[in-house]
Amino acid sequence: MSNPYIVLPIILQLVAAVVLMFFWTKTKAQKTISILFSTAAVAVGVYMLHSVWHHGIQITHSGNWKAPFGITFVADLLAMTLILISSIAALGVSIFSAGSMREERLKFGYYPVFHFLVMGLQGAFLTGDIFNLYVWFEVIIISSFVLMTLGGKKAQLEGTIKYVSLNLLASSFFLTGIGFLYGLTGTLNMADLAVKMKLIENSGLVNVTGSLFLVAFGIKSAIFPMYFWLPASYHTPPPAVTAIFGGLLTKVGIYAMLRTFSLIFGGDEFMTFITSIIAALTILAGAFGAMSRKHMSKIFGFLIISHIGFMMVGISIFSEAVLVGTVFYLIHDIIVKTNLFMVSGLVMKINGSQDIKALGGLYQSHPLLSLLMAVPLFSLVGIPPLSGFWAKIFFIQGALSAQNYLLVGSVVIGSFLTLWVIARVWSEVFWKKGENLPKQANGVYFDALSNLQQWAYIVPMLLLSIISLYIGLGAGRIITLSQKIASELVDPSLYIQLVLQNQLP
Amino acid sequence: MELLLIFIIGLLHASGIYMLLRRSMFKMIIGLILLGNGVNMLIFLLGKLTKGHPPVIEDGAKIFTEIYADPLPQALILTAIVIGFGLQSFAIILIKRVYQVLKTDDLDELNSTDEEI
Amino acid sequence: MKSIIFRTSSKYLLPILLIFSVFILLRGHYLPGGGFVGGLMAALAFILHSFAFGLEETKNIIKIHPGFLMPMGLVFALIAGLAPWIYQEPFMTGLWYGEPLRMIGMVGTALLFDIGVYFVVIGSVLTVMFSIREII
């Protein structure tokens, strides 16, 4: 079905950014405008997901240039679900930043750049054109560079060097892959590519191209041999920025892999072999890294890597059962990881430290807040019936039926190690008897903040916690949604047919 | 012409990767720029070269009557150059700031964020 | 930069270059040119002026902060992109006013988009160049 208004999520964020640019130095107005627009984006997301669920895939050809010549935007269930989830996470971060960002950072245009970043994410989810996907990726990374350096502290600059250089390298790989694809098929539309790649006999060349994309998206989503930039850089910017990065940036890489492997490089044994080894090693490397750290944000950074490995399980086996798990995990992970970095930001604000050895006694001093923070921590572990649990059933079930015992083992070990890490964080930070940490004379701590600012910390965590509880307790609906998405991913013929309908006889 | 382009692409990639593997921050950026140019040339080559036939429809005609150069790779390269220009200029300003703050150009000394705590 | 030839010539070059940049902008739809090139040229005209007369003098001529041109240009581009929605056409579809105007040629949303690009480019190049010159 053709619907010219499906680009609305992108436009909304762009309008938000442009309006915010007119209020460059007026920080109070910026906070209000950003929260209003983010709320509107969530509303639009809900409405559009509802409409796609009932009326099927919707497309628009920008500039009225028919596929495969123009840039097509496709709103299918996967794209719309991720748009809704990412705009919820963005709403949370927008409120959180209103409380936690320093004035001087806001004056350097934090909010406009933040909305440009979210616009890039929405665009990457919606586009049906591989080169356009590259452009959205560049929009995302250039905004993330700015967010990461904003403030210009020493550690931030150091982390950014690593982040920038590896992302630029990934972009070159991505572009090389696009060049190969264009040379092989003469088209860039993903639906058209899906048709034309099936006709190519030289499977070696296809695999090389696939590997280039795997490396490019792999660097962006931090899979096994290419994740070193993440723990070196993600803990350096302010907690609000880390929340949006940890929640969304690596997941875009996973989304891009799902899309390209579903449409373009699907069903090759060599790639299955490579990606299942990568998945297993990513899970283990991330979990071991998290065990070795004592800094809360660094622990969570390594946990991102470990859980990217879980999602790679779906990409490597690519059967419907496992993909249900991957999609479910994607939905759960965006919300929980965003929430988790907000937790670490709040702990930092309460005590002025993130060293779990030094911290302690949080449960005694702030019992209600601790309960709130327990929700994301234990959702992440996946204690039934919280949200992380359901996806893992599908991973294990699917991997068993594909007889891939390597992945079964690593998923089980990875889950246990995550449990161990979270239990350690919980007992060290919340249960252990705390000693009074030295407080900086000019520092402003959580208890000294005004009521409004305290609520700006609590409301987004409450919002995201409620949603992750809903994902866990109302899992039936999310599983139905994931099953429909997974069946669309395994058999994308409807997608292809709808995009190319003017071409087929 | 194709052969020449292939050699140039190989040279750009090789020198780009060599520069990337050096320890100096500045040389790393040069390496990334060279690599980016190599990739642009690669797209140009893979889009199939056609000499002397611009993709412009003659006055009075409605369609192309003879073979024409594919305009798409040029559009892709133009986009990639503009994006690359933005990213690279950001990276250059960034390393200037890093040099001002940390007083070093050696990548091996930028390891404090990896250390424990 | 104190050379009298340079100062005198740049005084006259500024309006000429600006007019030429508008010319480049307008011919851009079918011929080489367009908003990006035109914007770069206009920005270069101001930078040349600032080399000859100093940064303060140029800022006085421009009057508004160059950073302000970026959201302005984005607004133009957004309007051009969204106008087709009124007619239920997809985003970015070109809408054209029937008759070609004298000097300007066909007028449509594509021209409006290019004007947006023109302003964004002037704004961003001038902001970058001015802040670099303030550092040095």
Task: Show me where the domains of chain A are located.
Answer: 267-437+450-490
List of chains touching C (3+ CB pairs within 8 A): A
d(CA A482, CA A461): 25
Token pair of C28 as six digits = 């851009």
pLDDT band at A44 (very low <50, low <70, confident <90, very high): very high
Mutation to test the A interface, candidates B113, B115, B116, most A Cβ within 10 Å: B113
Using DSSP's 3-state secondary structure scheme, residue A127 falls into strand
For residue A258, the one-letter residue type is: L
For residue A489, the one-letter residue type is: L
Residue A502, pLDDT score:
58
Whether C67 contacts C123, CB under 8 Å? yes
Domain count, chain C: 1
In chain B, the residue whose alpha carbon lies closest to the alpha carbon of A154 is B101
Our CA-based measurement puts residue A103 at a distance from the nearest CA of chain C, in whole angstroms, of 20
Whether A309 contacts A223, CB under 8 Å? yes
Chain A residues touching residue C108 (CB < 8 angstroms): none
Q: Do B101 and A183 touch (CB under 8 A)?
A: no
Higher pLDDT, B47 or A420: A420
Residue A270, pLDDT score:
84
Token pair of C97 as six digits = 């006013």
Whether A307 contacts A286, CB under 8 Å? yes
pLDDT band at C1 (very low <50, low <70, confident <90, very high): low
> Which residues, at least 6 apart from B31, have a Cβ–Cβ distance to it below 8 Å?
B15, B16, B17, B18, B19, B20, B21, B22
Nearest to A182 among B43, B87, B110 (CB): B43
Residue C31, pLDDT score:
80
Q: Do A157 and B94 touch (CB under 8 A)?
A: yes
For residue A275, the one-letter residue type is: T
> Partners of A222 in the beta sheet?
none
Token pair of A404 as six digits = 């891939």
pLDDT band at A503 (very low <50, low <70, confident <90, very high): low
Q: Between the CA of residue C44 and those of B72, B79, C35, C59, what are the distances in Å? A: 29, 21, 14, 14
State the residue range of the domain holding B19.
2-51+67-107
d(CA A485, CA A328): 10
Question: Chain C within 8 Å of A11 (Cβ-Cβ)?
Answer: yes
> What's the full length of chain C, in residues?
136
Nearest one of B16, B21, B41 to B31, comparing CA atoms: B16
Chain B residues touching residue A135 (CB < 8 angstroms): 79, 83
d(CA C41, CA A402): 61
Using DSSP's 3-state secondary structure scheme, residue A285 falls into helix
d(CA A63, CA A104): 40
Using DSSP's 3-state secondary structure scheme, residue A293 falls into coil
The answer to whether the bond into A376 is cis (omega within 30° of 0) is no
d(CA A44, CA A46): 5
Higher pLDDT, B21 or B52: B21
Residue B117, pLDDT score:
56
Using DSSP's 3-state secondary structure scheme, residue A263 falls into helix
| Rounded percentage of chain A residues whose pLDDT exceeds 70 | 99
Whether C123 contacts C73, CB under 8 Å? yes
User: What angle, rounded to 10 degrees, do the helices at A130-149 and A154-185 form?
Assistant: 170
Q: What are phi and psi of C101, to 5 degrees?
A: -85, 160
Please state the pTM of the whole predicted model: 0.94
Q: What is the pLDDT of residues A323-337, one digit of tens each?
A: 999 999 999 999 999
Tell me the CATH number at B86.
Answer: 1.10.287.3510
Nearest to A142 among B39, B90, B107 (CB): B90
**Interface A-B: count of C-beta contacts within 8 A:** 104
Three-class secondary structure assignment of chain C = CCCHHHHHHHHHHHHHHHHHHHHHHHHHHCCCCCHHHHHHHHHHHHHHHHHHHCHHHHHHHHCCCHHHHHHHHHHHHHHHHHHHHHHCCCCCCCCECCCCECCCECCEHHHHHHHHHHHHHHHHHHHHHHHHHHHC
Question: Residue with structure tokens 């594509």?
Answer: C110
Report the largest interatomic distance among the alpha carbons of chain A, rounded to a whole angstrom. Answer: 75
* Bridge-based pairing state of the strands A58-61 and A72-75: antiparallel
Question: Chain B within 8 Å of A147 (Cβ-Cβ)?
Answer: no
Q: What is the pLDDT of residues A123-151, one digit of tens each?
A: 999 999 999 999 999 999 999 999 999 88
Start-to-end Cα distance in chain B: 56
Residue B61 exposed, middle or buried by CB count within 10 Å (0-12, 13-18, 19+) = exposed
Report the largest interatomic distance among the alpha carbons of chain C, rounded to a whole angstrom. Answer: 59
In chain B, the residue whose alpha carbon lies closest to the alpha carbon of A139 is B83
Question: Chain B within 8 Å of A353 (Cβ-Cβ)?
Answer: no
Q: Do C78 and A14 touch (CB under 8 A)?
A: yes
In chain A, the residue whose alpha carbon lies closest to the alpha carbon of C85 is A4
Question: Residue with structure tokens 């970043």?
Answer: A117
d(CA A434, CA A334): 31
What's chain A's average pLDDT? Answer: 91
Chain A residues touching residue C78 (CB < 8 angstroms): 11, 14-15, 18
Domain count, chain B: 1
Whether A147 contacts A241, CB under 8 Å? yes
Question: Chain B within 8 Å of A205 (Cβ-Cβ)?
Answer: no
| pLDDT at C120 exceeding the cut of 70 | yes
Q: What is the pLDDT of residues A202-227, one digit of tens each?
A: 888 898 999 999 999 999 999 988 99
> Which residues, at least 6 apart from A5, have a Cβ–Cβ distance to it below 8 Å?
A60, C85
Residue A505, pLDDT score:
45
Q: Is B115 within a domain?
A: no
Nearest one of A498, A224, A176 to B36, comparing CA atoms: A176
Q: Is B59 within a domain?
A: no
In chain B, the residue whose alpha carbon lies closest to the alpha carbon of A171 is B36
DSSP state of B71: S
Q: What is the pLDDT of residues A254-304, one digit of tens each?
A: 999 999 998 988 767 888 888 999 999 999 999 999 999 999 999 999 999
Whether C116 contacts C52, CB under 8 Å? no
Residue A224, pLDDT score:
87
Our CA-based measurement puts residue C91 at a distance from the nearest CA of chain A, in whole angstroms, of 5
Nearest to A22 among C71, C82, C94 (CB): C71
Q: Do A4 and C84 touch (CB under 8 A)?
A: yes
Chain C residues touching residue A63 (CB < 8 angstroms): 90-94
- Mean pLDDT, to the nearest integer, of A452-465? 93
Question: Chain A within 8 Å of B108 (Cβ-Cβ)?
Answer: no
List of chains touching A (3+ CB pairs within 8 A): B, C
Which residues 48-87 of B are in CB contact (within 8 Å) with A?
48, 70, 72-73, 76, 79-80, 83, 86-87
Question: Chain B within 8 Å of A159 (Cβ-Cβ)?
Answer: yes
> Which residues, at least 6 apart from A495, have a Cβ–Cβ distance to it below 8 Å?
A57, A74, A76, A191, A263, A488
